[in-house]
Amino acid sequence: MATLEIHDLHVSVEAEGGPREILRGVDLTVKQGETHAIMGPNGSGKSTLAYSLAGHPKYRITGGTVTLDGEDVLAMTVDERARAGVFLAMQYPVEVPGVSVSNFLRTSATAVRGEAPKLRTWVKEVKEAMAGLQMDPAFAERNVNEGFSGGEKKRHEILQLELLKPKIAILDETDSGLDVDALRVVSEGVNRVRSGGEVGTLLITHYTRILRYIQPDYVHVFAKGRIVESGGAELADKLENEGYEAYVKGGASE
């Protein structure tokens, strides 16, 4: 069973006046088949956690460990983390001019799987995944995210998730900018991946609305750069009713 283990993780960024600590001792274990929701206010460090796990160079690890199936994730390059099974759906997906969606997806799948997918089965696989996300097949020939709406970009992120089949999926505010219909379609895509029980999901969000579609096994409250409370799905209901004020008194971490 694939397991991501985060122990006492500390992360800083360069700021005016010197390094500024954002993550202040994060402990979390995500096992294959589990869905963990990370909830917290703006500035609490949630996205910093996501990008640190993916290997963004802006964030400097100053303490702690991250392992995937016992392997040191922090010692891996960004592409090595992806090949090992770590996937990040970004809050703000970037445009990649000159690279078509179809080429991007097949190249990514080749890197992750270690060999190029057979073209006939691959085309069918992509078409079926796009249909499930209600994406126009013509998107396959467009440049990656270029001219895409916010909802189209998020669908493309989940399309990658469905096709690449990672061990650990980190979804950074996938619900942001989505209308009700797009949220439902994107959530259904995530649930299709989860239904196989082969992916551990780390779902980062401000709001409970996505949790109406994607049922978490665990909910964690993030504040001041660390997890300050954990519980089951009922904790999300508490946050919906009471907000984050009790957790953030005294200031946020960034």
Task: Print pLDDT tens along the chain (254 aa).
Answer: 789 999 999 999 988 888 999 999 999 999 999 999 999 988 899 999 999 999 999 999 999 999 999 999 999 999 999 999 999 998 889 999 999 999 999 999 999 988 999 998 999 999 999 999 999 999 999 999 999 998 999 999 999 999 999 999 999 999 988 999 999 999 999 999 999 889 999 999 988 999 999 999 999 999 999 999 999 999 999 998 998 988 877 444 44
The SS3 assignment for 168 reads: strand
Query: What's the pLDDT at 127?
Result: 94
Query: What's the pLDDT at 251?
Result: 44
Question: What is the reported pTM?
Answer: 0.92
Q: b/e string for 5-42 if b means 16 or more Cβ within 10 A?
A: bbeebbbbbeeeeeeebbbbebebebebebbbbbbbbe
Strand pairing class (96-100; 86-89): unpaired
Residue 25: φ, ψ to 5°:
100, 65
Query: What's the pLDDT at 253?
Result: 42
d(CA 71, CA 56): 19
Place of tokens 């100053």: 62
Q: How many CB atoms lie within 10 A of CB 113?
A: 12
Nearest to 78 by CA among 107, 54, 104: 54
List the chain domain ranges.
3-184+207-248
d(CA 112, CA 116): 9
Query: What's the pLDDT at 98?
Result: 94
The CATH fold of domain 3-184+207-248: Rossmann fold (3.40.50)
d(CA 192, CA 174): 16
Query: What's the pLDDT at 39?
Result: 95
